[in-house]
Chain A
Amino acid sequence: MLEYWNPLIERMPVDELEKMQEKKLKHLVNYVYQHSDFYKKRFDEAGVRPEDIQTLDDLKKLPFTYKSDLRDTYPTGMFCVPNEQLVRFHVSSGTTGKPTVVGYTKNDIDGWTTSLARAMTSIGVGRGDIIQVGYGYGLFTGGLGAHYGAEEIGATVLPTSSGNTERQIELIQDLNSSVIACTPSYFLFMNEVAEKANVSIENDTDLRVGIFGAEPWSEEMRARIEQATGIKAYDIYGTSELSGPLFTECQYQDGIHIWADQFLIEVIDPETGEQLKEGERGELVITTLFKEALPLIRYRIGDITVINKDPCKCGRTHPRIMRVLGRADDMLIVRGINVFPGQIESVLMTIPEVGEHFMIVVDRVNELDVMKVQIEMTDQAFSDKVNDIIDLEKKVASALKSVLNISVKVELVESGTIPRSMGKAKRVTDNRNL
């Protein structure tokens, strides 16, 4: 049976939704212009005044906001409210540069929670479910975000955070967790540890749903996870700058619903900044419609995707974005060609002999980029004939080359030697000093 958290809004006719967006957008531009020196300056420089924005079509007149703006104004230079109105800070890890700080008012937390409550309901999770939250708690948004969403829908939260994998498996069994929320790579690692302890996730636990995200993962990886563990695996999407994890697919697993009353999305040509038509692949740009502390106008999140506004089988009218295989931050440029780790994952997961773990190593040898993909030898793939192994390396290399258009050296390594991650998987070692 289909259930909705906010049925009226989630099934609202598109024209009404757009009217609501228009109203909120007009309010937003006035709000940021008055409350943030950063936005006032940015608008003035672009020669736009709040009153120039009257319809959704006027959105394209507004200047973009970038992650670098958050870094340049570190820590709170873009905030629109004084600190005493904040109820929380989250701080990004800063792995790809200076960290970014996001502040939340009470309403910001509520909006974030509502978004996840709708999302969790849309995958059939609710009261009676025991949700084991294996995302990190703390400055990272994953743990607390999922926690609040889960409590909101009346589920029982088991806040394990990440790590202590044996304990996670024990608790899944002892407390009958039915839902697990963590990174897909961490779940695969959990499954590995469970198997070693002769625990079958499928037969010995009540787990039925996984809410996986915080790192890009492919459709092929989903098939592997569902097949190996018997659970339904759902993609969750978001980013700390926008709040944290926010959106998921619905039960039909056909794109991620973006709540249009809360966020306005567009897809642009990353080179020219021009808006693209529905169905065209481009860079996702998001405008927050409810946030008070740190609203973002036309934020260049850096993910490449396609917007789908077709009505979904689930009855929700909100637009969907198709699976995101990589964020611009994750993109590698190898010999001038753009490579997303997600593309590599998606190729590897179609080859049955290849396990779930891999590492991309990029070096520069004699002024030339050399990309190597390390994969682990598996029991199924192992042959004691050298030629069989070399053939497997060649098979994987040629499958990768046909998709990436560059030569890749494939190296088989011993099983268990590629580092396992409890949070976001590290898929790339770039030894070039770029």
Chain B
Amino acid sequence: MEDKIIKQISLFAENKPGRLAKIASNFRKAGINIRAFTIAEAGDFGIIRMVVDRPDKAHEVLHDAGFTVSETNVLGIEMEDVPGGLGKIADVLGEKNINIDYAYAFVTKTEQALLILRVNDIETAIKVLLDSGIKLIDMADIQQI
């Protein structure tokens, strides 16, 4: 089950010009590709969350550049691109009383819709999602997107 966990890069950034540019230029130099990206903004600061092809390298590069950064375990779910796709996932988790801390979605080049989720109980979430026939992607999939 461990291999179904995706390592997301989370970092703390003040809400001021140039922060994103600094991240991007560090990634460019290190040859790191961003697969998914979102900013949770809260007034003076924001938390930038990213799924990248090489999370350990990304963590190192950002840490060395002075950012406060962590790797967070999240789930990547391949969604059926049909009405009700998201609802099914939410139902499965809700039934088991698993809370979604946050979620964001993106569409790949191959026109798959992928959902990134952080939940309060990742082990149980993986189990119930797999049992319900929902497809979880892993780090190898992320690298190939």
**Which of A's residues lie within 8 Å of B, judged by CB?**
377-379, 382-386, 389-390, 411-417
Question: Chain A residues with Cβ under 8 A from B10's Cβ?
Answer: 382, 384
Cα distance, A31 to B72, chains bound together (Å): 73
Contact partner of B45 among A378, A385, A412, A415, CB < 8 A?
A412
11 contacts between A and B (CB under 8 A): A377-B45, A379-B68, A385-B101, A386-B40, A389-B12, A389-B42, A389-B45, A389-B47, A411-B44, A414-B12, A414-B66
Residue of B nearest to A376 (CB): B68
Is B70 an interface residue when CB atoms closer than 8 A count as contact?
yes
Q: Is B49 an interface residue (CB 8 A)?
A: yes
Chain B residues, Cβ within 8 Å of A384: 8, 10, 47, 49, 70, 72, 118
Chain B, 98-122, CB within 8 A of any chain A CB: 101-102, 118
Q: A384-B72, A389-B47 are in contact. List 16 more A-B contacts (CB 8 A).
A: A379-B68, A379-B70, A382-B68, A384-B8, A384-B10, A384-B49, A384-B118, A385-B102, A385-B118, A411-B45, A412-B45, A414-B12, A414-B13, A414-B66, A414-B68, A415-B68
Bound CA span A389–B47, Å: 10
Which A residues are in CB contact (< 8 Å) with B69? Answer: 382
Q: How far is the CA of A379 from the CA of B68 in the complex (A)?
A: 6
Q: Are B70 and A382 in contact (CB under 8 A)?
A: yes
Instruction: Give chain B's interface residue range (CB within 8 Å of chain A).
Output: 20 to 34
Across the interface, which residues of B come within 8 angstroms of A416, CB to CB? 66
- Nearest A residue to B8 via CB reads A384
Cα(A379)–Cα(B69), bound, Å: 7
Which chain A residue lies CB-closest to B41? A386
Whether B14 is near chain A, meaning CB under 8 Å from some CB there, is yes
Distance in angstroms from A358 CB to nearest chain B CB is: 15
The distance in angstroms between the C-alpha atoms of A412 and B40, with both chains bound, is: 15
Asked if residues B67 and A414 are in contact (CB atoms below 8 Å), the reply is yes
Binding site for A on B (CB under 8 A): 8, 10, 12-14, 40, 42, 44-45, 47, 49, 66-70, 72, 101-102, 118
Q: Which of B68, B102, B118 contacts A377 (CB 8 A)?
A: B68
In whole Å, how far is A381's beta carbon from the nearest beta carbon of chain B?
A: 8
Complex Cα–Cα for A272 and B13 (A): 50
Q: Which residues of B contact A413 (CB under 8 A)?
A: 14, 45
Query: A417 to B45, Cβ gap below 8 A?
Result: no
Contact A386 to B68, CB < 8 A, known contacts A377-B12, A414-B12, A417-B14: no
Q: Which residue of B lies closest to A414 (CB)?
A: B14
How far apart sit A344 and B89, CA to CA, in the bound complex (Å)? 48
- Cα separation A411 to B44 with both chains bound (whole Å): 7
Roughly how many angstroms separate A389 CA and B41 CA in the complex, as a whole number?
12
Cα(A377)–Cα(B70), bound, Å:
12
Smallest CB separation, A394 vs chain B (Å): 12
**Closest Cβ of chain A: how far from B58's Cβ, in Å?**
14
Q: A377-B12, A413-B14 are in contact. Are A386 and B67 (CB under 8 A)?
A: no
How far in angstroms is the closest Cβ of chain A from B6? 13
What is the chain A residue whose CB lies nearest that of B42?
A386
Residues from chain A with Cβ under 8 Å of B45 in the complex: 377, 389, 411-413
A379 to B12, CA, bound (A): 10
Q: Find the B residue at minimum CB distance from A379.
A: B68
Query: Which of A386, A411, A415 has the most chain B CB atoms inside 10 A of its CB?
Result: A386
CA distance A413 to B68 in the complex (A): 10
Given contacts A385-B102, A386-B40, A389-B45, contact A412 B12 (CB under 8 A): yes
Residues of A within 8 A of B40 (CB): 386
- Check B12 against A382 for contact (C-beta < 8 Å): yes
3 smallest CB-CB distances across A and B, nearest first, come from: A384-B10, A377-B68, A377-B12
Complex formed: what's the CA distance from A386 to B10 in Å? 11
Tell me the minimal C-beta distance from A419 to chain B in angstroms: 14
Q: Which residues of B contact A415 (CB under 8 A)?
A: 66-68
B93 CB, min distance to chain A CBs, angstroms? 17
Shortest C-beta distance, A353 to chain B (Å), equals 12
Considering the complex, give the chain A residue whose CB is closest to the CB of B13. Answer: A414
Question: Shortest Cβ distance from A414 into chain B, in angstroms?
Answer: 5
Residue ID in chain B nearest A413 by CB atoms: B14
Enumerate chain A residues within 8 angstroms of B42, measured Cβ to Cβ: 386, 389-390
Residues of A within 8 A of B8 (CB): 384
